Structure 1
Amino acid sequence: MEHASKLQHRNPVKTSSGWLNGLIGVVIFSGSLPATRIAVQEIGPVFLTVARASIAGAVALCIVLLLRERRPAPHHVLPLCIVALGVVLGFPLLTAMALQYVTSAHSIVFVGLLPLATAVFAVLRGGERPKPAFWLFSVLGSALVVGFAVSQGLSDGLMASPVGDCLMLLAILACGLGYAEGAKVSRTLGGWQVICWALVISLPVMLVLTAFTAPPTLAHLSWPAWLSLAYVSLFSMLIGFVFWYRGLVQGGIAAVGQLQLLQPFFGLALAATLLHEQVSPGMIGVTLAVIACVAAARRFSS
């Protein structure tokens, strides 16, 4: 039985599908920090967090009701609460608070640590055991992303904030735990079901907090703020996780988690396409090196 399970886990078709789903999830997540940065300039971080969770939770509730999805078993409740604390409340709130002190560009430094955090929790919570070479390429890839982000910040004259840095570090730990825990329970509950039920479980609390933290009026919000709120509510909080958790289950938490190393560069590509910002040769070189690290980490992930 165990041997058959390993063969199934290593099924090339299933693994490739996992990497594709994971890649789609990362592309969706790449717009989260810039959108949060835009929204938090006009919306308080606490209200932004609970409002986006309430919107996503309401949509998730409609989905499970329309599809008549069976309720989670009792042993799923605690893992779903951990997922909710990690990715529904923890990461959005901590990043929204951090982005009051640091720029979205500076936050890339910490995004580069997210694959490592996910891999560590994959071992602690998911029972995965990557080979030693995996950790070598994972650390190398993270170092490349962090080094690139730091060099960009220094060249742009960006100043670090100890408060913002601490909040971002806590956000990364919360997110890594939420990713690994969600992927673990997705093995038996299903990927889209996990994020939907985590949102539904947190919905009553989020609705109450939304009512208490809502400003007197939202008439002053600009269209970019409204669009950013819509993006982080529907795509960052719900749609992206449908692909992401499916990918983590199919391809392995630690392995597919390395795709997060590419997230900052998808953001740069987006900026170059939509904002016509210049992409330097160094940017391309680092991106290629990170892709090589991701490919190597995938090879030694199990």
Structure 2
Amino acid sequence: MRAQSSATTPTAIAVDTTSGSAPAPVPGAASPTTQGTLLALLGVVAFSLTFPSTAWGLESFGPWSLVAVRSTLAALIAGAFLLGGRVPLPERRHWAGLAVVAGGVVIGFPLLTTLALQTSTTSHAAVVVGLLPLTTAAFAAVRTGRRPSRTFWTAALSGAAVVIAFTVQQSGGALSAGDLYLFGALLVCAAGYTEGGRLAGLMPGWQVIGWALVLCLPLMAPASVVALALEPVRLTAHGVIGLAWVAAGSTFFGLYVWYRGMAAIGIPRASQLQLAQPLLTLFWSVFLLGESLPLAAPVAAVGVLVCIAVTQRAKS
């Protein structure tokens, strides 16, 4: 099998080095760091539109149909890219890890958040899922055996406390079914991100999500047929646009440019850019969906962002 790229530092996502030599710099062209930053920013913007697009998609499709068709379309796109690039199959020892990525990022997170958005607003979901970087860091610490500093864990627990207080306050003193779906989504997505990060040290990151999507195709394609037959479909412009974005924009394009950006600038700097994602989602929820934004939402989002920023400094 052709050699895949490997990470050069503990915190850097690997880049594909299958070409013979680095291209000569082009006068006037953007630097690799600038290009990587722009790609990572594109990924953050794509991710921030996921919840509003899901809310639009639910106007036309049931939750199970939306998730199944979304994953099927994204897998077909990923398969076309992998086939077009003549990317070799991953080694057998990587398939178990790819299954974790598929279960967490391709199926678990989209399904649980879609079920949550049937009763929760996108602004509420954005604040809760804003805890994802901290949850992922905790999973990574357990998975890799590293021991983050006391400052890191203090900030992480503080961020969790902010989110729990927000959800309880917004739910009238108790967690709702939507909140339970969102917290479940945090756990499965963090597991998928952690395993994906490990695999990205062994193969280009976009190939990790590409193969995870393709791995789900034999399950999600028939699931799409069954779900579309059982759930009502009422096609609207919003519904079709929402489905198209969560499939091609969030699930494939967003992850593709995100991993390419991280390969160029490294995980720590890319994570700093992702701090803007919950606030961007709050903006889209008002601009695209017309939601009224409670004061507690931006306050809680900023509180979570501060905690994440502290963890970033504590890890460096």
TM-score by length of 1: 0.79
Q: Is the 8 A contact 1:183 1:248 kept in 2?
A: no
Equivalent residue, structure 2, for 1:52: 70
More helix by share: 1
Equivalent residue, structure 1, for 2:223: 209
Q: Is the 8 A contact 1:122 1:180 kept in 2?
A: yes
Query: For structure 1, which runs of at least 5 residues remain unmatched after alignment?
Result: none
Equivalent residue, structure 1, for 2:18: none
Equivalent residue, structure 1, for 2:108: 90
Alpha carbons of structure 1 residues 162 and 147: separation in structure 2 relative to 1, 3 Å: closer
- Stretch deviating more after TM superposition (106-115 or 79-88): 106-115
**Matches of 2:35 and 2:308, distance apart in 1:** 16
Q: Is the 8 A contact 1:101 1:161 kept in 2?
A: no
Selected match of 2:245 from 215, 231, 241: 231
Equivalent residue, structure 1, for 2:199: 185
Equivalent residue, structure 2, for 1:167: 181
Q: Is the 8 A contact 1:259 1:294 kept in 2?
A: no
- Stretch deviating more after TM superposition (225-234 or 174-183): 174-183
Q: Is the 8 A contact 2:278 2:301 kept in 1?
A: no
Q: CA deviation at 1:299?
A: 2.3
Equivalent residue, structure 2, for 1:121: 139
2:269 is the alignment partner of 1:251? no
Q: CA deviation at 1:81?
A: 0.8
TM-score by length of 2: 0.76
C-alpha offsets along residues 124-143 of structure 1, whole Å, 9 cap, x if unaligned?
23455433323333444555
Q: Is the 8 A contact 2:199 2:208 kept in 1?
A: yes
Q: CA deviation at 1:164?
A: 1.8
Selected match of 2:284 from 235, 248, 270: 270
Q: CA deviation at 1:37?
A: 1.8
- Stretch deviating more after TM superposition (199-208 or 280-289): 280-289
**Matches of 1:279 and 1:166, distance apart in 2:** 21
Q: Identity across aligned pairs (percent)?
A: 37
| SS state at 1:214 partner | helix
Q: How many residues align?
A: 292
Alpha carbons of structure 1 residues 292 and 14: separation in structure 2 relative to 1, 3 Å: farther
Q: Is the 8 A contact 1:80 1:198 kept in 2?
A: yes
**Matches of 1:209 and 1:96, distance apart in 2:** 16
**Matches of 2:83 and 2:288, distance apart in 1:** 38
C-alpha offsets along residues 22-49 of structure 1, whole Å, 9 cap, x if unaligned?
4432221111112112212431111111
Selected match of 2:117 from 95, 99, 103: 99
